[in-house]
A = this chain, B = another copy of it.
């Protein structure tokens, strides 16, 4: 494991080197260049059952707004993930709305009348209730990639599992709240939420929510349609006037779409050689703009590369 002391030594050295030594032609590659050079074998297709296509109402210029979400794999959060597929297949999400946009925190969507029992949209049959113990999963160390950087504030260990950022201790592992992660709104404990109310992170990672709320996926395309929405001016960033809500036309599981309409995505294996080099380059930027490599990175500053393929 790279220690902070060694990394800072390297940083001091970089600072002492003449800047003229940084020649773009023979400069170390940037994290993006490393990913671009990954062999096809390190890209893993995301199953259509694990992709949600969320269509918002067109924007003020009439342009379409589509957001694609990847759902988490086992062993994480599967009770909620299955509920989300059930809700999407019942077309329950059609006609709900984005009702909350809190700066540097979350965008949330759900039934605008959900708080009013008389007007709330009835949930479909087939949903299960999941215990808050399922915020955690049994630790499986052999299946995680240890992050080769210094420690962090929220857990003794953090790394990646099958393409997802997770943290763990001696007993358990859990997914973490990075930018773009999608979670399940809930009321006070022991309620854990059904999956009818969802949110995504649009600011600095609110890691204090880890282990307190279910994470079920992440936005892999179109987050700008959510992160650039006007901020709500009510408490917690809720829109004060229902006219400000952003209608959701539909949310579909990609495998339920005609094959020609299914978006296709791949993620970079977090167990491969390229990801290890990419994570190291994120922690120690040596490409020409940088003069001092950080000597570390927090896990949310190493986003797992995801790309759209094959439909242009």
A4-B155, A291-B212 known; A204-B190 Cβ under 8 A: no
A11 neighbours in B (Cβ, 8 Å): 211
* A50-58, A256-264, A282-290: which lies at the interface: A282-290
Find residues 195-249 in chain A having any chain B CB closer than 8 Å to their own CB. 203-208, 210-212, 223-224, 227-231
Please name all residues of chain B whose beta carbon is closer than 8 Å to the beta carbon of A78 when the two chains form the complex.
Answer: none
Contact indicator A208/B155 (Cβ below 8 Å)? no
A125 close to B (CB within 8 Å): no
Chain A to chain B contacts (Cβ below 8 Å), 17 pairs: A8-B155, A15-B133, A22-B188, A103-B224, A152-B298, A153-B283, A154-B294, A154-B298, A188-B289, A189-B289, A204-B301, A206-B301, A207-B298, A208-B290, A210-B292, A210-B294, A211-B294
A residues with CB within 8 A of B: 4-5, 8, 11, 15, 19, 22, 60, 101, 103-104, 132-133, 135, 149-156, 169, 178-180, 188-190, 203-208, 210-212, 223-224, 227-231, 282-283, 285, 288-298, 300-301
Q: Which residues of B contact A103 (CB under 8 A)?
A: 223-224, 227-228
Chain B residues with CB under 8 A of A211 = 11, 291-292, 294
* Cβ A151 vs Cβ B154 within 8 A: no
Q: CB < 8 Å: which of B101, B152, B228, B295 contacts A151?
A: B152
Asked, given contacts A103-B223, A298-B298, A300-B204, whether A288 binds B154 with beta carbons under 8 Å apart, the answer is no
Give Cα A80 to B68, complex, Å.
42
* Chain B proximity of A301: nearest CB distance (Å): 6
Q: Could you tell me if B296 and A153 are in contact, using CB atoms closer than 8 angstroms?
A: yes
- With A4-B156, A291-B212 as given contacts, are A203 and B228 in contact (CB-CB < 8 Å)? no
Residues of B within 8 A of A210 (CB): 292, 294
Residue of A154, A179, A231, A282 contacting most chain B CB atoms (<10 Å): A154
The smallest beta-carbon distance between A55 and chain B, in angstroms, is: 19
Interface pair B179/A104, CB less than 8 Å apart: yes
Most chain B CB inside 10 Å of its own CB: which residue of A178, A230, A298: A298
Q: Is the CB of A179 within 8 A of B204?
A: yes
CA distance A104 to B11 in the complex (A): 26
CA distance A207 to B291 in the complex (A): 14
In angstroms, Cα B213 to Cα A292, docked, is 10
- Please give, as numbers and ranges, the residues of chain B lying within 8 Å of A5 by CB-CB distance: 156
Q: How far is the CA of A19 from the CA of B190 in the complex (A)?
A: 6
The residues of B that contact A4 with a CB separation of less than 8 Å are 151, 155-156
A149 cross-chain contacts in B, Cβ below 8 A: 153
Q: Which residues of B contact A152 (CB under 8 A)?
A: 150-153, 296, 298
A212 touches B153 (CB 8 A): no
Complex CA gap A229/B229 in Å reads 8
Q: Which residue of B lies closest to A229 (CB)?
A: B228
Residue ID in chain B nearest A157 by CB atoms: B4
| Set of chain B residues within 8 Å of A132, measured between Cβ atoms | 15, 291
